Structure 1
C-alpha cells in the first residue's frame, strides 16, 4: 500500500504576494520569514495616532533587526517588508494571493477586521487566521459566503523562522483543495512541517504540549523539585528541547502561556476533558504574572540573569535565589537505557526525581491516548506536532510504541486504577484490543492509527511530497532509508557512494559529525573517478546534519605524534589535492548543505561546482578557534574570489575585495543563515537556497543533472592577481592596533598575520599573478608551523577535551 493518502489533483497555487495583518510579535516575524524565502510581503496594522500613519508597522519592522535569535536571514532585508495601514492601503490586498491575519487573540477584534477587509480580498486568494486556539469555524462565520471556502486556520509556532511546525485547520465550509494548496506552499515555499488539526481548543501541539507543561508543574509540586533540576531532567536527557520546561516557558512568554492555558480553561470542562481539573493556573505562574515577570521579554520569569549568574524564582520567599542545581546523575544514566528498560526503571525508582519522570511520561501517554480521536486525524499528527512544535526527539506515541505497547499500556492503566494518574479516565479500548494491540503500536507500514476512523491511515499524497525523497520518518513507519536506499557503488566506514538513478553518484560521509578524514578525502576522489567514467555528476549529501563540522583533528594527531609535522603536511596536501580534484572534475560536483559546514566542510563546499543549501545552514572557516589557519584551500579560495570580484569591476586594486574574506577567516565568522553565508562570500548568487530540509537532495540532484545536460565543463585553471606585500603591510597595521588595544591576543595576531600573508600572496608585488597551487603551498606551510606551536596545541587539546575554544 502507498505510504501516502491519495488526494485530488489540484491546480498549482502560486503565491506572488502575501499580506500579513497585524504587526505584533508573530505578524512581524511571519513577514520576516516570508522575506527570507523571497516571497514579497506587505505588513499591515492600525494607523498610528501620531506621526506617519505607518508608524506602528515601521516600529515593528525596525524591531526585527534587534531580535535574537534573528527572524531575518540578513538584517538589512527588513527593508523588503512592505508597510501599510488599514485606513489608507486596503486596496493593496487585491494583489495578494494569501492573506494571513495575525492580530491579537480577541474574537471580536478579528471578526471586525474581517468585515473591513472582505471587499478588498482577491477572488482567488486564501485567507487564513494565525491563532493559537480560537475556533476557526466561529471566525469564518463573519466572512461573506464567497470567502468562506477559501478561509482556514494557520498556526505558526514562535519563532516562525526556526520552528518547523505549522498547523492548518479547516472549517466545515473550507474547500478541500484550499488546504492542499496551502499545505504545498507552506511545506516547499516556507520549509515547514504541516500538521492538519481539528478545530478543537488549542488544536494539536498546544493542546498536548500545554497540558503536558501544566501536568509537569503539578508533578513538580507533588515531588517538591526545583525548576533548575526539572529543566535538567526534562531537557536533552529526556530527548526534548534543551531549554527544558521552565526555560521554555520563559522563552515563550508567561503571558502567552497563560493565554493558551486560559483558552483551555474557557473552552473545555470536566465533561469534555477528563483532565480539566489539572488546568488550573499554577500558583507560581500567578505570582510571576502579578509581579510583571513575564519571562525572557521582561528579563525575569522562572529565571533571572544577574551578571553571569542565573537565579531561579522561589515562590515561598517570593524572591530569586541562586540556581544551577543539576539532577542526580543516576537518572541521566537511566535515561540512556533502551526505552523498555528505561520506563521500568523510572516507574520503580525510589527517589522523587525518578518518580517525577515516570509520572510526566505516564501523564503524556494517558492524555494523548484519551484525546486522539477528537484532536487529530491520526497518531502521526500528534507525534509530528510534538517533534516539530515542542522540540521532542520522539512524540508520546513513538516512545510508548518503542518501549513495548501493551506492557506500557498495562503500567499506565494500573496507575490510573490506583489513583496515581491525573484523571480517572481509562485508556481507550483500542489501546488494548483490535488492530493497534495486534500491531503492537500506532505506527505501522500501512499507516498511523486514526482513533476516529478506527483504522490505520497512510500519509497524504500531494505533489509537493514527491520532492522529499527521504522524509522524516516516525518509529514503525516504512519509509525509504537513505543509509540503505539505491545501489551501492562503494562503501567503507567513512563514506558511502551510491546512486538512485544511475545518473548521479551520491557521496554520503559517515564519520562522526561528518568530519573529513583522509579516508573521506579518498572516498570523495573515488566518487569523481566513478562519475567521470559512468555517470553525469556527483552530489555530496550525507542525509542528516551536519554537512561537515570540519577536518578530523583526532585522526591527524596520531600521525603527528609518530612522524611529526611532515606527516601532517602530507595529509594536508592530499586534502588540498582532493579539493582541486573536485573543482576541476570532468563532471559537476554539487554540495548539498544542511546544518554546519565549518572549516574543512566549508572548504569542501566552496570547491564544489555549485552549492544547494538549506536555509538554516551555518557556514564558515573556523580554524582560528583551534589556533590554526584553513589548510584545505580555504585561503586560496578567498584570494581567488577577491581577484574574480575585482575583475568584474573597474578597479585594479584587489585589496578592497579581500577585506570581507580575510575578516571572515581571521575572525572565524560563521554565516548564521544561508543568506548571511552568501553575504560573507561562502555562497554565490548562482547557488540555490532551499527552505525545506527534506527537499535538499531532490533539488541538488536536479541541479547536478541540469548542469551536466547543459554542457557543463570545469573552469580553466588560471593565474590571478594578489595584493602582495603592500596588502600584507596594510592588514598587519590594523592588526597591530587591535593587538595593542587588547582586542586580540599575541597568538591571535600571529595567526591573523599568517592568514594575511597567504591571502595576499606573500612577498610579491601587488598585482602579481599566482596559482591556486602556489597559495595552497603557503597554506600548508602556515598550517604546519602552527600545529607545532605550543599555544595552538593548547587550543586543539582544549577543543577536543571540552568542545569549547580556548583563548590564549
Structure 2
C-alpha cells in the first residue's frame, strides 16, 4: 500500500469550527492554510487574522500551545487560491447553506491538486447534493468529514461517503484522522444530520417533550440527564445553551425539511420555548442567556410558563439518585420502569424513546449498531451507547416493555420495533461483531492497518474486545499493581489504585517491576489500563494511605514511606533497561515526579502535568525539585543557573499544571525528544516501540553526576521576592514558608553559589522540609480540607 503523506491541509472558512480544525492541525504539526473572504476594509486577511487571534481566548483552548497560533498560514479566496495546489486535504467549513457551499466549490475546484481529498465539515447537509456539479474525478475524491465541537477535545469524526466516493480515499483519510489527529472515526450514511446529531438531537427533543409531560423544570432535568445517567455533565438544557440555541434550531430544521416520511416526524418540531428564547436574542452561553442566565453569582433558570428567569438549583430526588447508582443495568432500568416517582417515569420514558428510535432507524442511518454506540459516546459524551445500555439491561425484557408502551400509546411514535429486534435476540454486540440490519449479520471491526497500532480498541458491551486490565500474561498482581506482558519482551506495569495514586503498594510494585524487567525484558513501560478512556496517569501520593500511619505513629511514621518513594524513583532513573512512561490525563504531584525519572515519556496530547503539592501545604518530595535543580543546571551550560531555575521554581510554588502535552514540553516536564501521541488508544503501542528501540540502540542509564547549585545567592534572591509578595498581601505567611522551603531545595540551601552537590543532598532537603510541613497545623488544615471537599484551602 502506497504512503499517504499529508504535506499541508487547507481549511476553507475561518468561523468557529474552521479556525479550530486549523488549530488542531497545527497541534499535530500538520502545516495548514486557513482561508476566508477578503475583508471589506483594513488588512484584506483581517477576517482570518481575527479568527486566529480569537483562538487564543477560547476556553477550552483549541491550541495545545497558544504561541503556535502564528503557524497557521493566512489566505483569502481572491488572492490565494493558487495555494490550494500544495494541499493534500482540503476541508470546507463555511456556514450550513447549500447555495453558499456550491458557490465556493465552483471557485476552488479548478485550483485543487489532482490527488487532493476534498471534504465538507457539514453537520448534516447531504454530501451527495453537495457534490452535484463536480466532474467524475472530483466526485471520487469528495466526502463528508464531520468534526465535533470543540475539535481538539471531541474524539468523534464522522466520515460520510457518497456512492461515487473512492473507498481508497476514505481509508487514507480514516488513517490520517485516527493517528495524526487522534480521532475516533465512525462511517455514517448520507442521511440528514448523519448519526450522532440525528440520534443526539432526537434525544434532546424527546427529553424536552417528556420533561413537559412530567412537569419537570430544566434544572431538575439537567441533574437527572447529566453524569448521574452516564451522560455529559451539562445534561440536556445546559448542553443546548453551550451548543447555541440557534445552532440547535438549525439542526432541528434540517430534520424538519428532510425527514417528512419519518415515523417520529412529530418530534422534529422546534419547542415553543426554544423559539421564544431565540426570538428574544437568548441564544445560550454565547449570548449570556438561554435556558439559564447568570446574574451576579446566581444561576437562574427559565420558567417556560412565564418566560421569566427564576432561581434554579433543583435536584434529582434522593430515591432516584440511589436507583441511578445501581451498577447492574438490568436492576437499574427495571427500577425506573416500575417506578411511580415522576422522575423515575420520566427517565424510563426518555430511555425507552431512544431505544425505540435507534431500533427503527438503525438500517437507514448506520451500517451497524457499533457505529451508533461509538458516535454517541465520542460525540455526545455518553459513557455507554444506547444499544450497549439496552443489551446490558436485558434485550428481550426491554423490547417487551417498549412494545407494551407502543400498544398503550405512551411512545412518541406508533412505529413497531423492527422484526430483527424481536424474538430471542440477546443483543446487538457479540464477539464476532455488531448487528447490521442491511447485511443481516454481525459485522466485524474495521481491519485497516491503522488499527494495528491500537493494542486495545474501544470496547463495547459483550463484544469480546480484550482490555488491558485482563489481557496478556500476568507476571505478578496484587491489590495495588499488575505486572504483565504481551509476549514481546516488554514488561508493563499498571496501577490498580483509585486515580492511580501512589502508596506503599505501588512503590513496592515499582521496585518489583524494575527488578523483573532488568532480569527478563528489553524494557519497562508504565501504562494505565484506562488511559484511553479519560482516566488519570496518577493523581499523586495516596494521602488516604498516609492517614493510618500518621494516626498510629505521627509524622515520624511517614518518613520511611517518603524515603522509599524517593529511592523507587531513583531506581527508575538508573534502571539498566529503558523505562518508558505512557502518560495520559492527570499526572500530578508524585505522578509528575514519577514521569520525570523515566528514560523517556510518551504522552497523550491531553496530558495535564504539574507539581501541585503546595495545594495541600506540602512541597514535592519524590525527587521533583531535585530534578528541577538538575534541569536548570543542565540548561544553563555555565551561565547564571538562577535565570534557568526561575520557571521551574514558580511552577512548583504556584502548583502550575500544563493544559496539554505540548505545553508540558515548554514547561520542562516533558523533554523535546519525548513523544506526543494524539490518539490515546495508540499510547501503549508507541511506548513499547520506544522501549524496544532504545534497548536495540544499546541503552545505558545516565551516569550519576554532581549538580552545580546557586546556594545562598539564589536563596536570598528568591527570598527577597517572596517577602515583597507576603508583605504586599499577595501570599499568606504559610505560602511564604512553602516558597522558602522550595527555594531551599532547588538552590541547595545555605552553601556557596556554584557548589557541587549530589542528588541525595537535594533529596534529603526535600524529605526534611516535607516532614516539617507535615507536622505544621496549617498544612494539616489543607490536607483535611482537600480530602473532605476536593478543593484547596487557602490559609
**TM-score bin, normalised by smaller chain:** over 0.9
Mapped partners of 1:188, 1:531: distance in 2: 29
Q: Secondary structure at the match of 2:429?
A: coil
Q: TM-score, normalised by structure 2?
A: 0.98
Per-residue CA deviations over 1:592-633 (Å, capped at 9, x if unaligned) read 001110000000000000000000010001111111100100
Mapped partners of 2:196, 2:756: distance in 1: 60
The match for 2:457 is 471
Equivalences for residues 22-171 of structure 1 within 5 A: 22-171=13-162
The match for 1:178 is 169
Q: Answer yes or no: is 1:657 the counterpart of 2:644.
A: yes
The match for 2:283 is 294
The match for 2:403 is 413
Mapped partners of 1:549, 1:100: distance in 2: 39
Which of 475, 482, 485 is the equivalent residue of 1:496?
Answer: 482
Deviation at 1:744, TM superposition (A): 1.5
Q: Answer yes or no: is 1:452 the counterpart of 2:441.
A: no
Per-residue CA deviations over 1:441-471 (Å, capped at 9, x if unaligned) read 0001111000121111011100000000011
Equivalences for residues 231-270 of structure 1 within 5 A: 231-269=222-260
Deviation at 1:768, TM superposition (A): 1.1
The answer for unaligned runs of 5 or more in structure 2 is none
Q: TM-score, normalised by structure 1?
A: 0.97
Report if the CA contact (8 A) 1:372-1:451 is conserved.
yes
Deviation at 1:542, TM superposition (A): 1.4
Equivalences for residues 309-320 of structure 1 within 5 A: 309-320=298-309
Q: Secondary structure at the match of 1:670?
A: coil
The match for 2:625 is 635
Provide the aligned length of Structure 1 versus Structure 2: 790
Mapped partners of 2:734, 2:314: distance in 1: 37
Q: Secondary structure at the match of 1:470?
A: coil
The match for 1:555 is 545
Mapped partners of 1:565, 1:347: distance in 2: 53
Q: Secondary structure at the match of 1:700?
A: helix
Q: Secondary structure at the match of 2:79?
A: coil
Per-residue CA deviations over 1:639-697 (Å, capped at 9, x if unaligned) read 110001101xxx52100101111111010000011011111110000100000010000
Mapped partners of 2:345, 2:491: distance in 1: 51
Instruction: Please identify, of 122-131 and 139-148, the stretch whose mean Cα deviation from structure 2 is larger.
Output: 139-148
Which of 336, 341, 344 is the equivalent residue of 1:346?
Answer: 336
Deviation at 1:502, TM superposition (A): 4.5
Deviation at 1:501, TM superposition (A): 2.2
Which of 454, 465, 485 is the equivalent residue of 2:471?
Answer: 485
Per-residue CA deviations over 1:754-785 (Å, capped at 9, x if unaligned) read 11111111001111111111101000011000
Mapped partners of 1:605, 1:570: distance in 2: 22
Q: Answer yes or no: is 1:797 the counterpart of 2:788.
A: no
Which of 587, 600, 604 is the equivalent residue of 1:610?
Answer: 600
The match for 1:205 is 196
Instruction: Please identify, of 496-505 and 38-47, the stretch whose mean Cα deviation from structure 2 is larger.
Output: 496-505
Instruction: Please identify, of 500-509 and 688-697, the stretch whose mean Cα deviation from structure 2 is larger.
Output: 500-509
Which of 527, 534, 547 is the equivalent residue of 2:520?
Answer: 534
Q: Answer yes or no: is 1:507 the counterpart of 2:493.
A: yes
The match for 1:3 is none
Mapped partners of 1:76, 1:142: distance in 2: 41
Report if the CA contact (8 A) 2:147-2:158 is conserved.
yes
Mapped partners of 2:728, 2:779: distance in 1: 22
The match for 1:571 is 561
Mapped partners of 1:581, 1:224: distance in 2: 62
Mapped partners of 2:751, 2:553: distance in 1: 33
Instruction: Please identify, of 525-534 and 307-316, the stretch whose mean Cα deviation from structure 2 is larger.
Output: 307-316
Per-residue CA deviations over 1:32-75 (Å, capped at 9, x if unaligned) read 01111111100000111111111100000000000011111011
The answer for unaligned runs of 5 or more in structure 1 is 1-9
Q: Answer yes or no: is 1:461 the counterpart of 2:447.
A: yes
Instruction: Please identify, of 601-610 and 732-741, the stretch whose mean Cα deviation from structure 2 is larger.
Output: 732-741
Deviation at 1:348, TM superposition (A): 1.7
Mapped partners of 1:236, 1:698: distance in 2: 31
The match for 1:215 is 206
Mapped partners of 1:420, 1:502: distance in 2: 56
Mapped partners of 2:68, 2:313: distance in 1: 39
The match for 1:6 is none
Instruction: Please identify, of 336-345 and 313-322, the stretch whose mean Cα deviation from structure 2 is larger.
Output: 313-322
Which of 355, 371, 381 is the equivalent residue of 2:361?
Answer: 371
Report if the CA contact (8 A) 1:303-1:311 is conserved.
yes
Q: Secondary structure at the match of 1:147?
A: helix
Q: Secondary structure at the match of 1:327?
A: coil
The match for 2:748 is 761
Instruction: Please identify, of 485-494 and 420-429, the stretch whose mean Cα deviation from structure 2 is larger.
Output: 485-494
Instruction: Please identify, of 92-101 and 296-305, the stretch whose mean Cα deviation from structure 2 is larger.
Output: 296-305
Per-residue CA deviations over 1:192-246 (Å, capped at 9, x if unaligned) read 1001000000000000000110010111111111111111000010000111111
Report if the CA contact (8 A) 1:653-1:767 is conserved.
no
Per-residue CA deviations over 1:343-392 (Å, capped at 9, x if unaligned) read 11111211211111011000000000000000000000000000000000
Report if the CA contact (8 A) 2:467-2:529 is conserved.
no
The match for 1:324 is 313
Q: Secondary structure at the match of 2:465?
A: coil
Mapped partners of 1:307, 1:663: distance in 2: 33
Q: Answer yes or no: is 1:782 the counterpart of 2:773.
A: no
Mapped partners of 1:195, 1:534: distance in 2: 41
Q: Secondary structure at the match of 2:430?
A: coil
Report if the CA contact (8 A) 1:118-1:144 is conserved.
no
Per-residue CA deviations over 1:256-305 (Å, capped at 9, x if unaligned) read 11111110011111x2x111101110111111101111111112111111
Report if the CA contact (8 A) 1:628-1:751 is conserved.
yes
Report if the CA contact (8 A) 1:114-1:142 is conserved.
no
Runs of at least 4 residues off by over 4 Å: none
The match for 1:743 is 730
Q: Secondary structure at the match of 2:159?
A: strand
Report if the CA contact (8 A) 1:35-1:80 is conserved.
yes
Mapped partners of 2:670, 2:413: distance in 1: 55
Per-residue CA deviations over 1:694-720 (Å, capped at 9, x if unaligned) read 000000000000001001111111111
Report if the CA contact (8 A) 1:541-1:591 is conserved.
yes
Q: Secondary structure at the match of 2:721?
A: helix
The match for 2:591 is 601
